[in-house]
Amino acid sequence: MSDGQPAVDRSAKVTEGQISDSLSQALGAGAPAKPAGPITAAFAFAWRGMLKVKHVPEQLLDVTITPVMFVLMFTYLFGGAVAGSTAEYLDYILPGILVMSVIFTTVYSGIALNTDLTKGVVDRFRTLPTWRPALLVGSLLGDTVRYVIAGTVIILVGVIMGYRPPAGVSGAAAALGLVVLFAFGLSWVFTTMGLLMRSPNAVMNTGFMLIFPLTFMSNVFVEPETLPDGLKWVVEHNPISYLASASRGLMEGNMDTNDITVVLVTAAVLTAVFAPITGRLYRRG
Amino acid sequence: MLAIDASGLVKSFGDTRAVDGVDLAVPAGSVYGVLGPNGAGKTTTIRMLATLLRPDSGTAQVLGNDIVSQGAAVRRSVSLTGQMASVDEDLTGRENLILLARLLGFGRSGARARADELLEAFDLSEAANKLVKHFSGGMRRRLDIAASIVVTPKLMFLDEPTTGLDPRSRNQVWDIIRALVSGGTTILLCTQYLDEADQLADGIAVIDHGRVIAEGTPAQLKTSVGYGSLHLRVVHPGQREIAERLLGERFDGVHRGADSTALSATCRDAGEATAALAALSGASVEVADFSLGQPSLDEVFLALTGHPAEEPTANEEESE
C-alpha cells in the first residue's frame, strides 16, 4: 500500500472513484458517544424478530397449521363421541388447543436461535459492544408477538366454528396472556437446546419429541377421569394440564387461582433455571 | 504502536490443535495479511482476537486491551466480517444496517439516516429493500463490510472477504479495503490468495497447521520462492512426461498440476523460459498454454514447507 496504488484497469477506476468519495464521507461520519444500553438493545432485537414474522410468514404458518388441523379433526371426528356433541366438545377443547398452538410455537424460538448460530450472524452480534444477552432476551420478546398471533389465530378459528367464550373477549384475552407468559418461560428450555444441538432440524425433532407427549398426556383433549391410574397421575400433574385448566377457567369466567399459581410458578422456575444456562452457553460460544 | 500483539495463542478442538502457538505483531494503520490454506487456523485465530473464542493458552492485546480480561473494551473498537456473511439473510439490507446502528447507539432517525448513507456509499441503494437472501455474492459482501463500519472501527477483521466472488466484485471489495485503510483503520486480512495479500497487505504471516511458518513483506515472501513460476499445459496428457523431463533439465521445483496436462516450475529468468519453449517444440510437444507468473499460494507453501497447500481434490480436478 505504501508504494502507491497498483495498476487497475480503466473501468475499475471509475467505480473506485465513485465508491471512495461517498465512502470516505461515510467513514468520516460522527459516531454515537456510546453503544445502546441493555433495554434499547433488547428491543432492537425484538424488532428484528418481528421483521422476520413479516418477511418469513410461512414459518409461523407451519406451527399454526397443525393446531388448526387438530381443532377441526378432533371436534368433528371425536367431538360427538367424547362429549356428546361437537359444540360441547369445542367448548372443552378450544382453550386446550390454544395452549397447544402457543406451546408448539415456543419450539420455534430454539430453532431460530440455532439457525442464527449456524449462519454466522451471531458472530457479528457477539462482537458488538452491547450487553451480550440482549439478543436472547430481545428475541424472546419478539417471539411473544409470534405467540400472540398463533393464539389469536386459534381463537378466531374457534369463533368461526361457533365457539363463544362465556367470559367474552376479556376472558379470552386473559387466557391468551397467561398462555403467552407460560410460553416465555418454556421457551428458555428450547433456547438452551438451540445452543446445544448441531442443527435447526435436530432442535425441531427433539423439541417436538418432547412437546408432543407433553401436550397429549394432559387434559387438553380429554378429561382424565377415564384414564388408567398411572397415566391419570401423570396427566393430573402435568403443568400443561394446569395451564389448560387455567385457560378454560379464564375463558369460562370461573378462574381458578390454584391453577394460575401453579402455571406462574412453573414459568418462573423454568426461567430461573434455563435462562442462566442459556446465557452461559451463549457467552461461552 | 501495535494494533495486535499476540503471543503463543493456542486453541484445541478435541484432539485437533487448530491454533498451535501463534505470535502476531500487527502495526497500527496497516493491512496485515494472514495467508494460509483452509484449515490452517486462520479463522480460529481471528475468532480468538475478536473475543468470540477464549484461547486455551497464550495472551493477546488488541489495541492495548487484553482479549480475555478486557473483552468489552476490545469489542468497542473492532468489527468482524466473517467468512460466512455476517448479515441476517431474512432481513432487508436496510433493516440489517438500521438494526446495527440502533445497537451501536444511534437514535431512531439517526439509525435510518446512517443506513441510507452507507447503502449509498456501497452502491446498494437500489437493493436496499430487498431481502439479503436474494442478494448476489458481491452485494452481500459489500453489505457485510458496510455493516462493519456503521461505526468506523479502529481495527477490522476481514476473513476471506473475496472467496467465491467474481473478479469485478473482488476489485470492488479491494477498493473498499483501500479506502478504509486510508481512513486510518487497521485491517487483519485472512486470505487463501497470495495475489490478494500481495495487492493489499503491508506485511504477511504465512500460517500452516496452526503455526506461523514465515513472515515478511509480500516482496520478501515471493523472493523466498524464486522470482516467479512457469505454468505450462500440454495438449495431450500423454506428452506431459516428456515435457516434465525437458523442464526438469532446466528448472528446479518442477511439479505436476492438479489436472493431467498441467506442469509448473520455478523460473528465475525469462530467457530460460524461451529456451524451454523452443526445446519443447523441438521435441514435438504441443503446448496449449504457457505463462510466467507470480508464485501461487501452492508454490509459496511448497517452497516454505515442502508440501502443497492442499492436496488436489476430485472437485478441483473437475473445475480445471
What is the sign of the dihedral through the CA atoms of A274, A191, B83 and B185?
Answer: negative
ipTM: 0.81
B151:A119 CB<8 A: no
Cβ–Cβ contacts within 10 Å for residue B162, how many?
25
How far apart, in whole angstroms, are the C-alpha atoms of residue A283 and residue A276?
10
pLDDT at B4: 94
pLDDT at B309: 61
How far apart, in whole angstroms, are the C-alpha atoms of residue A100 and residue A220?
8
End-to-end CA distance of chain B: 45
Domain B2-216 grouped into CATH 1.20.140.10: no
Largest CA distance in chain B: 75
Of A12, A20, A127, the CB nearest to B171: A12
Residues of chain A neighbouring B86 (CB-CB closer than 8 A): 120-121, 123-124
pLDDT per residue rounded down to tens, chain B (320 residues): 899 999 999 999 988 889 999 999 999 999 999 988 888 899 899 999 999 889 999 999 999 999 999 988 999 889 988 777 689 999 999 999 999 999 999 999 999 999 999 999 888 999 999 999 999 988 998 899 999 989 989 999 999 888 888 888 888 889 888 888 888 899 999 988 888 888 899 999 999 889 998 888 887 877 776 657 788 889 998 889 888 888 888 887 788 877 788 888 877 777 788 888 888 888 888 888 888 776 666 667 777 776 666 544 333 333 32
Residues of chain A neighbouring B114 (CB-CB closer than 8 A): 29
At residue B168, what is the residue type? R
CA B94 from chain centre, in angstroms, equals 28
Q: Which of B204, B140, B195, B198 is nearest to B173 (CA)?
A: B140
Query: Half-sphere exposure (CA, 13 Å, Cβ side) for B134?
Result: 11
At residue B74, what is the residue type? V
Residue A199 DSSP code: S
How far apart, in whole angstroms, are the C-alpha atoms of residue A211 and residue A106?
10
How far apart, in whole angstroms, are the C-alpha atoms of residue A10 and residue B313?
37
B87:A121 CB<8 A: yes
For domain B224-319, the CATH architecture is: 2-Layer Sandwich (3.30)
pLDDT at A12: 38
Q: Which of B152, B35, B143, B33 is nearest to B96 (CA)?
A: B143
Residues of chain A neighbouring B54 (CB-CB closer than 8 A): 284
Q: How far apart, in Å, are the Cα atoms of A73 and each of A97, B5, B116?
A: 12, 66, 50
Residues facing residue B3 across a β-bridge: none
The four Cα atoms A177, A181, A182, A183 give a dihedral, to 10 degrees, of 100
**Residue limits of CATH 3.40.50.300 in chain B:** 2-216
Residue A174 burial by Cβ neighbours in a 10 Å radius (0-12, 13-18, 19+): buried
**Residue limits of CATH 3.30.70 in chain B:** 224-319
Residues of chain B neighbouring A47 (CB-CB closer than 8 A): 99, 102
pLDDT at B225: 65
Do residues B229 and B266 touch, judged by C-beta distance below 8 A? yes
Residues of chain B neighbouring A42 (CB-CB closer than 8 A): none
Q: Which of B12, B19, B27 is nearest to B43 (CA)?
A: B19
How far apart, in whole angstroms, are the C-alpha atoms of residue B294 and residue A248?
76
Do residues A25 and B122 touch, judged by C-beta distance below 8 A? no
Q: Nearest C-alpha of chain B: how many angstroms from A51?
A: 7
Q: How far apart, in Å, are the Cα atoms of B242 and each of A89, B4, B44, B122, B285?
A: 87, 50, 44, 52, 8
Three-state DSSP state, A97: helix
Q: Is residue A82 part of a domain?
A: yes
Where in the sequence is the domain holding A259, given as residue range(s)?
36-284
A-B CB pairs within 8 A amount to 150
- Closest residue in B to A50 (Cα) is B91
Three-state DSSP state, B7: strand
Q: Nearest C-alpha of chain A: how many angstroms from B255?
A: 31
Question: Which residues are CB-neighbours of B251 under 8 A, at least 6 positions away?
Answer: B230, B265, B266, B267, B272, B276
- Closest residue in A to B49 (Cα) is A127
- Closest residue in B to A18 (Cα) is B121
pLDDT at B39: 82
pLDDT at B300: 72
Residues of chain B neighbouring A5 (CB-CB closer than 8 A): 178
Total number of residues shown for chain A: 285
Total number of domains constituting chain A: 1
- Closest residue in B to A127 (Cα) is B75
Q: Is residue A164 part of a domain?
A: yes
B80:A124 CB<8 A: yes
Q: Specify the DSSP element, H or E, that contains B73.
A: helix B71-77
Do residues A143 and A49 touch, judged by C-beta distance below 8 A? yes
Q: Which of B5, B147, B154, B24 is nearest to B76 (CA)?
A: B154
Q: Is residue A121 part of a domain?
A: yes
Q: Nearest C-alpha of chain B: how many angstroms from A156?
A: 28
Using a CB–CB cutoff of 8 Å, tell me whether B65 touches chain A: no
- Closest residue in A to B184 (Cα) is A27
pLDDT at B251: 83
Residues of chain A neighbouring B160 (CB-CB closer than 8 A): none
Q: Specify the DSSP element, H or E, that contains A263.
A: helix A257-284
Residues of chain B neighbouring A48 (CB-CB closer than 8 A): 88, 91, 95, 99
pLDDT per residue rounded down to tens, chain A (285 residues): 344 343 333 333 344 445 567 777 777 777 787 899 999 999 999 999 999 889 988 877 877 888 899 889 989 998 888 888 899 999 999 999 999 999 988 998 899 889 888 887 888 998 899 998 899 999 988 888 889 988 999 999 999 999 999 999 999 999 999 999 999 999 999 999 999 998 999 999 999 999 999 999 999 988 888 899 999 999 999 999 999 999 999 999 988 899 999 999 999 999 999 999 998 988 776
Backbone φ and ψ of B62, nearest 5°: -115, 120
Total number of residues shown for chain B: 320
Strands (E), chain B: 2-13, 16-27, 31-35, 57-62, 65-66, 78-81, 155-159, 186-191, 203-208, 211-216, 229-234, 252-256, 262-266, 287-293
**Among residues 39-58 of chain B, which lie with CB inside 8 Å of chain A?**
47, 50-54
